Amino acid sequence: MTGWTIGIIGGSGLYGIDALEDVETITPETPWGPPSDALVRGRIGDVRFVFLPRHGRGHRLSPTDVNARANIHALKLAGCTDVLAISAIGSLREELSPGCFVAVDQFIDRTVHRDTSFFGSGLVAHVSMADPVCPRLSTMAAQAGERAGARMVHGGTYLAMEGPQFSTRAESHLYRQWGADVIGMTAMPEAKLAREAELPYALIGMVTDYDCWREGEAHVEVDAVLAQLGTNAAVARSLVVALAAILPSERTPSPIDTVLDQALITHGSHMDRAKAESLGPIVSRVLAARGV
């Protein structure tokens, strides 16, 4: 086996990866409660994968109700080295038409009702989010998308809105003015939490529709979105298989693997030990290195 264990977070329409072999189902316990659903661990060739449907099987969870802290913590407990999210998105650009896949490289966070960090009083950390995705993983995921036959766009800014309602037309025009290219409801705080957990993160967005900025475009309707989701999900499953084939035979370290070395600033003598213990594998490496 290689040193890679890729966590796959499946968004709307992607509730399983049929190509996984030697499958086992696990449900890790986290301090934040249960993840969205049981994790499915298996392999494709020599690469280990852990799959988690973000909204739960049957799409039980609304975007605001997705427990991102539990999801990321569970993937860390399951031994993931990297995380690839595959998410449904709306388009804010004419050239990003339905069926297009986008390797997102920036985010604008407009969520307001979600827990955004593992850290807090007694254990303070400030991770850098200037470059929120792992360029290595994102590049390979985009290459895998191309091999799977996706119309792939490299780079794009994702506007994360709270939901569950779709945008007003005024909001949609505003987001375009801000430079956002696509819009979704789930990537934040997921990407922030992955960075805090020292998990290199990438997001491939699957365009299902144009947001309501487009003149003459019909209002976003769920039935049209669902129809496009089915087509996109088939390509997404092929993308995961292609990713297993193009990953290097061994995983070399990433700078993201050690971001807490600089980000965790609470002195050991003032640290909330109970909080540190509850975070388990998220902080165990850096605390051991500091002799705490």
- Reported as a single tens digit per residue, the pLDDT across 1-24 is 679 999 999 988 889 999 999 999
**Lowest mean per-residue pLDDT among 63-72, 91-100, 209-218:** 209-218
* Residue-range definition of the domain harbouring residue 161: 5-289
Residue 181 amino acid letter: D
CA distances to 101, 132, 291 from 155, in Å: 10, 12, 40
Q: For the chain, what is the domain count?
A: 1
Quick one: pLDDT band at residue 222, thresholds 50, 70, 90? low
pLDDT at 291: 85
Residue 15 has phi, psi (to 5 degrees) of -115, 5
Give me the mean pLDDT over the 188-193 stretch: 98
Instruction: Work out the angle at residue 16's Cα, subtended by the Cα atoms of residues 200 and 193, and round it to the nearest 5 degrees.
Output: 25
Q: What does the mean pLDDT of the chain come to? A: 94
CATH code where residue 170 lies: 3.40.50.1580
- Within 10 angstroms of residue 266's Cβ, the number of other Cβ atoms is 17
Residue 218 scores a pLDDT above 70: no
State in Å, rounded, how far the first CA of the chain is from the last one: 33
Q: The dihedral of CA 67, 71, 72, 74: what is its sign?
A: positive
Number of Cβ within 10 Å of residue 214's Cβ equals: 16
**220 — pLDDT class (breaks 50, 70, 90):** low
How far from chain centre, in Å, is Cα 217?
29
pLDDT at 219: 62
Contacts of 115 (CB under 8 A, 6+ apart): 32, 68, 69, 189
What single-letter DSSP state applies at residue 220? P
Burial (CB < 10 A; 0-12, 13-18, 19+), residue 176, is middle
Cα maximum dimension of the chain: 62
pLDDT, tens digit, 9 for 90 and up, residues 120-138? 999 999 999 999 999 999 9
* DSSP bridge partners of 7: 50, 83
Active site residue ranges: 209, 211
Q: Is the predicted pLDDT of residue 227 greater than 90, yes or no?
A: no
pLDDT score of 193 more than 90 = yes
Q: Copy the structure tokens of residue 244.
A: 């297993």
CB atoms within 10 A of CB 186: 29
For residue 230, the surrounding DSSP H or E stretch is helix 222-246
Span 160-188, pLDDT tens digits: 999 999 999 999 999 999 999 999 999 99
